[in-house]
């Protein structure tokens, strides 16, 4: 048994008091683990790998809300377009355009978050402020996507000041986005915070956290 039920109950209760959404990040973990949390009432799960997500979706209950949380390659959007609930981590207009195309093919609107690059590390994906504005300026032509907000990952660091500064930075982009609300920009979700930093993220304004290892144990 790798699912930490006690942690789940504690965290879920804390988050519901704070009115913060929980995405249980189940990447690399077996469907039996997902089932366990689903049976306790968890509806939102996050996955990073397209193939894995498609396989899990096929065998798990249809009312699960699947979040794609990692870097998504444009050529793989078509596999998740029929069912994905929220694509977190849209980091280019090219990807947004492809999501729009596949959403139209499936006769639906796909909800997305734009991913901002807030960490000091070079390696993390995401848009900078200028790129964000460039995408927003063109968004009107993508009528089959709806931008629900922003997502970001802070630096992997013990420097609390630095991490808080990055979260606060993302929060300020989110506040600015609220002034750009339009037909397909509905800023509601600020997704920031993972196992190691979710409490800080909430203090800095997050309303959705993505937690894996605290719930499912470390990934090997
Ligand atoms: C893996 C992952 C998480 C969860 O990480 P934990 O530290 O296990 O909570 C959250 N967000 C993204 C984008 C991830 O890839």
Q: Tens of pLDDT along 186-204?
A: 999 999 999 999 999 999 9
Full-prediction pTM beyond 0.85? yes
Mean pLDDT value across the chain: 96
Say if residues 189 and 1 touch (Cβ distance below 8 Å).
no
What are the Cα distances from residue 121, in Å, to 12, 88, 114, 171, 189? 30, 19, 18, 19, 24
The residue to mutate among 8, 21, 23, 25, having the most atoms of ligand 1 within 8 angstroms of its beta carbon, is 25
Distance in Å, CA 24 to ligand 1 centroid: 9
Spatial CA neighbour of 148 closest among 179, 176, 190: 190
Distance in Å, CA 183 to ligand 1 centroid: 31
Looking from the CA of residue 196, the nearest atom of ligand 1 is 7
Which stretch of DSSP H or E encloses residue 199? helix 198-203
The residue to mutate among 3, 114, 194, 208, having the most atoms of ligand 1 within 8 angstroms of its beta carbon, is 194
pLDDT in tens, 65-95: 999 998 999 999 999 999 999 999 999 999 9
The confidence score (pLDDT) of residue 206 equals: 98
pLDDT in tens, 39-63: 999 999 999 999 999 999 999 999 9
Say if residues 113 and 148 touch (Cβ distance below 8 Å).
yes
CA distance 194 to 163: 12
Distance in Å, CA 176 to ligand 1 centroid: 26
Which residue has a Cα nearest atom 10 of ligand 1? 210
Please indicate whether residue 211, judged by its CB atom, sits closer than 6 Å to ligand 1.
Answer: yes
What are the Cα distances from residue 182, in Å, to 26, 85, 139, 185, 195? 33, 20, 10, 5, 33
CA distance 137 to 154: 26
Q: Is the pLDDT of residue 166 over 70?
A: yes
In sequence order, the 6+-apart residues with CB closer than 8 A to the CB of 1 are none
In sequence order, the 6+-apart residues with CB closer than 8 A to the CB of 204 are 164, 167, 168, 170, 171, 192
Please indicate whether residue 210, judged by its CB atom, sits closer than 6 Å to ligand 1.
Answer: yes
Please indicate whether residue 48, judged by its CB atom, sits closer than 6 Å to ligand 1.
Answer: yes
């Amino acid at each position: 048994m790798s699912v930490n039920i006690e942690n789940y109950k504690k965290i879920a209760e804390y988050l519901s008091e704070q009115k913060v959404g929980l995405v249980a990040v189940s990447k690399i973990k077996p469907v039996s683990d997902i089932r366990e949390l689903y049976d306790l009432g968890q509806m939102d799960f996050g996955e990073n790998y397209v193939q894995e997500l498609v396989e899990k979706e096929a065998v798990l209950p249809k009312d699960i809300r699947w979040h794609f949380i990692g870097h998504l390659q444009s050529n793989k959007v078509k596999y998740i377009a029929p069912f994905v609930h929220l694509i977190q981590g849209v980091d280019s207009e090219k990807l947004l355009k492809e999501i729009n195309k596949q959403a139209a093919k499936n006769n639906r609107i796909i909800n997305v978050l734009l991913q901002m690059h807030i960490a000091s590390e070079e390696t993390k994906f995401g848009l900078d402020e200028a790129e964000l504005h460039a995408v927003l300026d063109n968004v009107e032509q993508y009528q089959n996507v709806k931008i629900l907000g922003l997502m970001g990952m802070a630096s992997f660091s013990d420097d609390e000041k630095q991490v808080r500064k990055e979260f606060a930075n993302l929060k300020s982009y989110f506040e600015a986005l609220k002034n750009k609300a339009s037909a397909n920009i509905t800023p509601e979700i600020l997704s920031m915070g993972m196992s190691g930093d979710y409490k800080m993220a909430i203090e800095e304004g997050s309303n959705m956290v993505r937690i894996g290892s605290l719930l499912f144990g470390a990934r090997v």
